[in-house]
A and B are shown apart, each in its own frame.
Chain A
C-alpha cells in the first residue's frame, strides 16, 4: 500500500512541471484564465492516473515479458531465432505506429506522390528491424556502441550531401517517431536481459542502446529511398 502511494505521488511529480509551465504561461504571461477549467482538471487527473497505471504495467508485465524472452533466447543459444525476433518486433511495431502513419501521409502529399506513404512506412520499418537486429548482434559481440554510431552518422552525413532537400528534414525527424511507448520498454528489457544472461556482458554497457539503433538506421534507409526516387 505504501509502495502504491509512493508510485502515485511520483506520477503527480512527473506531471507537475508541465502543469507549472502551462499555468505560468496562461495566467501570468498571457494573463487570461483557462477557457474550460473543469475539462482541463479532468484531463490532468486522467493523465496522472494513466501514468500511474502505465508504470505499474511496466513493472508487472512489459519488463518481465522482455526479460523472460531474453533469457529464453539465451538459453536456446540460437542467434538466428533472436535475430528473427528482433526483425519481427521492429518491423510490425513500426508499421503499426500511428505517428509514423501521419508523417508518411504528410510526406506523400508534400512530394505530390513521388514518395509513397506505404513504401515510406515499409522503408522505416525495415530500418528499425535492421537496427534492432544489429543492436542485438552488438550485445552478443560486446562491441562498444560508439563505433556503430560513428559509422551510422558518417553514412547519414554523407547521404545528406547527396539527398534532395525535401527528404532531409523528414529523414532526421523520422528517427524520433519510430519507437513507441510500448516498444521502447520491451526492447530495453530485452537488451538488458540479454546482456545479463550472456557471461562477460555488463547490462549497463552492453544492454542499453537498442533504442538508439532503432532511431539511427531508419534515417539511413529513408535517405536511400529519397535518393532513389526523388
Chain B
C-alpha cells in the first residue's frame, strides 16, 4: 500500500473504532442518565491522546512491522523452512501478544483492582505463553489436518477442569484474556502464517484450515493463566505447610 493509503486508511479505521463507542457512552452519560462528567477536560485530553496513540500505533505497524513480519510469516510457511515454522509461530505469538494494547488495558486494570496483588507483567507473560503454545499447536494441526473442533473441545475441557482448582479471583480474568489476545498486531501476522501454511500444504483448504489459528489463540491463554494461578496457589500452600513445621 502507498504511504498515502496507509495514512488515510488507518485514520478511517481508528475513527470507526472510537466514534461509535464514544457516541454511545456520551449519549448515555448526558442524555439518558443526565449525569455530569467529573474532570471533563481531563477526559477530553485523554481521548485525544488515545486516538492519536492508536493512530500512530497502527501507522507504525503498517510501515515498520507488518511488511517485514508478513514476509517472514510467508517465508516460514513454505515447506523448505519447515524446521523453523513451529519455532517462528511460538516466538511471534509470544512477542505480538506482549505488545497487544487491549491485553495491556485488561491486565493494567487487574493490577489496579487487586492493589498490585496481580502483576500486569506476569499476567501478560502467562497470556503470551498461551498464544505462543496456541500458534505452535495450530501450525502442527494444519500439517496433520486433524479436525479443528477436537482440539477446541479438548482445550475447553482442560480450561474448565483447571477452573475447578484455580482461585476464584483469577477465573473471570483468565476467561477475559482469551478474548483480548488477538487483535491489532497478532491477527494480521497470524492470518498471513495460517493462510500461507494452508496454501502450501497439499490437501488443505486455506479458508477452512487457515482460520483456526485465531480460535486456538482464544483457548490456550485461558489454560496458561489458570495453570499459572493453580501453580502459584500450590507453591504458597506448600510454603505455608513448611512454615508450620
Contacts and interface: CB of A to CB of B under 8 A. Distances in A.
Interface in B79-98: 84, 88, 91-92, 94-96, 98
Contact of A61 (B49, B113, B187): B49
With most chain A CB atoms within 10 A of its CB, the pick from B27, B173, B185 is B173
Given A15-B99, A68-B35, A211-B180, 16 more contacts: A30-B72, A43-B61, A53-B52, A54-B101, A57-B48, A61-B49, A61-B50, A62-B105, A66-B25, A92-B24, A144-B168, A149-B175, A169-B208, A185-B109, A207-B113, A215-B178
Interface in B18-66: 18-21, 23-25, 27-29, 32-33, 35, 37-39, 42-65
A65 B169 contact: no
A51 B58 CA distance: 10
B38 A68 contact: yes
A203 to B, nearest CB: 5
Nearest to B105: A185
Interface string A11-54: 00011011011101110011000111001111111111111111
Given A72-B35, A184-B105, A215-B179, A39 B58 contact: no
Q: How large is the interface on A (under 10, 10 to 19, 20 to 34, 35 or more residues)?
A: 35 or more
Interface of B: 13, 16-21, 23-25, 27-29, 32-33, 35, 37-39, 42-65, 67-69, 72, 75-76, 84, 88, 91-92, 94-96, 98-99, 101-102, 104-106, 108-110, 113-114, 118, 128, 148-149, 152-153, 156, 160, 163, 168-173, 175-176, 178-185, 187, 207-209, 211-212, 214-215, 217-218
B104 to A, nearest CB: 7
Contact of A208 (B38, B53, B67, B110): B110
Contacts of A20: 95
A60 interface: yes
Given A98-B17, A110-B207, A18 B57 contact: no
B106 A183 contact: no
B20 A93 contact: yes
Contact of A145 (B29, B58, B110, B175): B175
A209 B110 CA distance: 12
A79 interface: no
